[in-house]
Amino acid sequence: MMAKAQPLLALLQRIERGLDAIIQPAVFVCMAALIGVITLQIISRVLFTAVGWTEEVARFLLIWMTFLAATLAFQRGRHIAVTFAVDALPLGARRVARLVALAVVLALLVSLIVIGYRYMQVQSFQKSASLRISMTYIYAVMPVCAALMAWYTLVDMLETLIHGEPRVVKEGTP
């Protein structure tokens, strides 16, 4: 059965790399735009009249950049984890412990998707102060990134079932 799951796992890993190829440049663009907007804000305050929308755009960019970067860190296994107890277990028990941990993470992420979507709906009438855009676009980052992390968790679960533990993606590896 595990041999039949290998092609599925390969497909899921390719999709995972494709998502990474989209998210990573998006984080870079958010960071570059954030630097540009903050620079504009500083220059306009010192030399001219302050540009009103820069503070709001900077805040929205920071929110999206933070969630997207957290998603990348999650996919690469870079969030803080205390694993010495699990690592000391024999392979079978370690596999079960990792699957239980991934199931708990998946449950948390699914609840975050639901809560984030509900919050988006509740705040859908609200407009941003300066730009007058719907706050739905700002709050959408929570369910979107939680869904991406849930996807990564499902792939990790499948990797754990097949190989014993999830493959940690290192920067620059396919």
Phi-psi region of 119 (alpha: psi -120 to 50; beta: other; left: phi over 0): alpha
Judge whether 58 and 31 are in contact, CB under 8 Å: no
Q: Where are the domains of the chain?
A: 2-163
Question: Per-10-residue mean pLDDT for the chain, 174 residues long?
Answer: 77 92 97 97 90 93 97 88 83 90 96 96 91 94 96 92 68 50
| Threshold 0.75, pTM exceeds | yes
| pLDDT reported for residue 167 | 61
Burial environment of residue 46 by CB neighbours within 10 A (0 to 12, 13 to 18, 19 or more): exposed
CA–CA separation, 172 and 153 (whole Å): 20
Which amino acid is located at 103 in the chain? A
Which amino acid is located at 97 in the chain? A
Dihedral sign for Cα atoms in the order 105, 108, 110, 112: negative
